[in-house]
Amino acid sequence: MKTLSSQHMQAKIEPEHLRWAQNVDKAFNGNIDMGIPTGKNSAGVYNKFSPGNSSGVLIRVGATGSSETYTWDVTGAVTINHGLNRQPIGFKVVDKDAAVDIYRTAVPTVTQIALKATVNTVNVTLYIF
């Protein structure tokens, strides 16, 4: 589906609706991001992110004993302070370096989400939303 540019609608709608249409046009044309990479670890993998313009956060979780801010403990568990200031809906794995299943171990709160991995030697990037 091809979107109609908000510039074509300029003469046909009120200014407040035009601003809304321009914002929708901008979003539909690829200007939504989940986060902006701001740092890499020693392996060259992005591990620090600033918030994007969506309502979630990217968090890197490292293998047990790694130097990442968050790491799996020996049982494969981690508690993340997500910073959303609301209860997350869920999370998605957006990068991993080995086969793993990750699941919640408790209901998330407005400050934290508790997760467990089936393998504690895996490094993952999670999008918590």
Please give the biggest Cα pair distance in the chain. Answer: 63
pLDDT confidence of residue 32: 80
Exposure pattern of 32-68 as b/e (b: 16+ CB <10 Å)? Answer: eebbeeeeeeeeeebbbbeebeeebbbbbbbbbebeb
3-class state of residue 67 by DSSP: coil
pTM of the complete model beyond 0.85: no
pLDDT digits over 71-122, tens only? Answer: 999 999 999 999 999 999 999 999 999 999 999 999 999 999 999 999 999 9
Please say if the pLDDT value at position 12 is more than 80.
Answer: no
Which residues touch 8 (CB under 8 Å, ≥6 apart)? Answer: none
Query: Is residue 20 very low, low, confident or very high in pLDDT (cuts 50, 70, 90)?
Result: confident
Over the stretch 32-81, which tens digit does the pLDDT of each residue have? Answer: 888 999 999 999 999 999 988 889 999 999 999 999 999 999 999 999 99
Assess whether pLDDT exceeds 70 at residue 3. Answer: no
pLDDT for the residue 102: 98
| Average pLDDT rounded to a whole number, residues 15-36 | 79
Q: Provide the residue ranges of all domains of the chain, joining segments of one domain with +.
A: 1-31, 35-128
Q: Tell me 17's DSSP state.
A: H
End-to-end CA distance of the chain: 27
Judge residue 102's burial from the number of C-beta atoms within 10 Å of its C-beta, 0-12 exposed, 13-18 middle, 19 or more buried: buried
Residue 129 pLDDT greater than 80, yes or no: yes
